[in-house]
C-alpha cells in the first residue's frame, strides 16, 4: 500500500499506463499488495505531499495498526488514489509541490519513482 514496484523491466510509460488502467477501476476495488511496506511508503509519500491531510491521517492509522500487529493491506483503490503518490502524479498539487507544473503525468511519475529509489 502507498507504493508501486520498482522498474526492473519496462519503462515509466509502461508502469504509468498500468497504473492509469488500475485507477479506472471502481473505487471499492481492493488493492492486495504483496508486502507490508505501508509504513515505509508513508514516510516517502509525506515527502512528496507534506500537506495531504488524507495521507497524514493514513500514516497515523497505519502506525496504530502496525503497533497492534494488524496488517494495513488490503486497501481500497479510493484510499490509494487519495494518498499514494504514484497514483497522484497527475494531480496539479503534486506537480506544483515538485516544481513540475506543465510536465506530462508520466514525467512526474518517473520523477517520483526515481526519488523513491533514492529514498
pLDDT of residue 34: 85
Q: What are phi and psi of 116, to 5 degrees?
A: -65, -40
DSSP 8-state secondary structure symbol assigned to residue 28: T
Taking CA atoms, 80 is separated from 6, 10, 30, in Å, by 17, 23, 10
pTM across the whole model: 0.94
Residue ranges of the chain with per-residue pLDDT less than 50: none
Structural domains of the chain in order of their starting residue, each with its CATH number: 12-118 (3.60.15.10)
pLDDT of residue 9: 87
Residues 6+ apart with CB under 8 A from 3: 33, 37, 41, 44, 84, 86, 116
E strand or H helix at 59: helix 53-67
Amino acid at each position: 500500500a502507498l507504493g508501486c514496484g520498482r522498474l526492473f523491466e519496462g519503462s515509466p510509460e509502461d508502469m504509468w499506463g498500468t497504473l492509469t488502467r488500475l485507477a479506472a477501476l471502481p473505487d471499492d476495488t481492493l488493492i492486495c499488495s504483496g508486502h507490508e511496506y505501508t509504513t515505509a511508503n508513508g514516510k516517502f509519500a509525506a515527502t512528496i505531499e507534506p500537506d495531504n491531510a488524507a495521507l497524514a491521517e493514513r500514516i497515523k492509522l497505519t502506525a496504530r495498526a502496525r503497533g497492534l500487529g494488524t496488517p494495513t493491506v488490503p486497501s481500497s483503490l479510493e484510499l490509494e488514489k487519495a494518498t499514494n503518490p504514484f497514483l497522484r502524479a497527475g494531480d496539479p498539487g503534486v506537480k506544483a509541490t515538485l516544481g513540475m507544473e506543465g510536465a506530462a503525468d508520466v514525467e512526474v511519475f518517473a520523477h517520483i519513482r526515481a526519488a523513491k529509489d533514492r529514498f
